[in-house]
Amino acid sequence: MEGRVLVPVANGTEEMEAVTIIDLLRRAGIAVLVAGESPMVVCSRGVRIVPDVLLEEIPEEEEFAAVVLPGGTRGTEALLQNTHLARILQAQHRRRAYIGAICAAPTILAAHGLLEPDTPVTSHPSVAEQLRAYLYRTEPVVRAGHILTSRGAGTAIAFALELIRLLVGDDAAAEVARQIVLS
């Protein structure tokens, strides 16, 4: 599948997750659009990210190959409250295009009704209880159709490589793993 990937970021986003996803997808030749809640986003550990565009500038019905949500407690809370992002996610879900969420961000999918009761899902352990209505797993990366979830900063590379595999194939994922000397 070709097309752009949207990575929304908000103040409090977990920087390791956001940057890992953005970097590895771009290494694979995937166009990534970073959309922020503000012109500069201050992440959970003080790292500053200058988004490509403001999230509000993204047309709600724009088609993306994937929308991928990094976690971080405060960032997740901010993205959860963003009604514009909710509409983008709903449109993505209706198209059955890929939606990824890592760390606390799978709670956004649950809150917006994007998960069915029989959906396998994972997350950071701190929000696991909020996802017990689903088929909760503890694997590093869990795929359920067009939904991909992951546990946290420590699983961000595996998560990004799985996104690459889904979007552009096994060879591209293997090449990026080779480039970053993933053993």
pLDDT tens-digit series, residues 69-89 = 999 999 999 999 999 999 999
Tokens of 81: 């409250």
Contacts of residue 120, defined as CB under 8 A and 6 or more positions apart, other chains included, come to 134, 135, 137, 142, 143, 144
Contact 42, 11 (CB under 8 A): yes
CA 102 → CA 17, 25, 62, 169, distances in Å?
Answer: 8, 15, 22, 21
Query: Coil, helix or strand for 70?
Result: coil
Mark whether 103 is an active-site residue.
yes
pLDDT over threshold 80, residue 109? yes
Q: What is the DSSP letter of 128?
A: G
pLDDT over threshold 90, residue 183? no
Q: Determine the pLDDT at residue 2.
A: 64
In the chain, what percentage of residues exceed pLDDT 90?
Answer: 98
Q: Determine the pLDDT at residue 172.
A: 98
**Mean pLDDT along residues 150-176:** 98
pLDDT over threshold 90, residue 150? yes
Which of 43, 84, 124, 146 is the catalytic position? 124
Which of 84, 93, 103, 112 is the catalytic position? 103
Classified by CATH at the fold level, domain 5-179 comes out as Rossmann fold (3.40.50)
Nearest-angstrom CA–CA distance, 125 and 152: 9
Mark whether 124 is an active-site residue.
yes
Nearest-angstrom CA–CA distance, 151 and 133: 17
Q: Where are the domains of the chain?
A: 5-179
Nearest-angstrom CA–CA distance, 28 and 130: 33
pLDDT tens-digit series, residues 50-61 = 999 999 999 999
pLDDT band at 131; cut points 50, 70, 90: very high
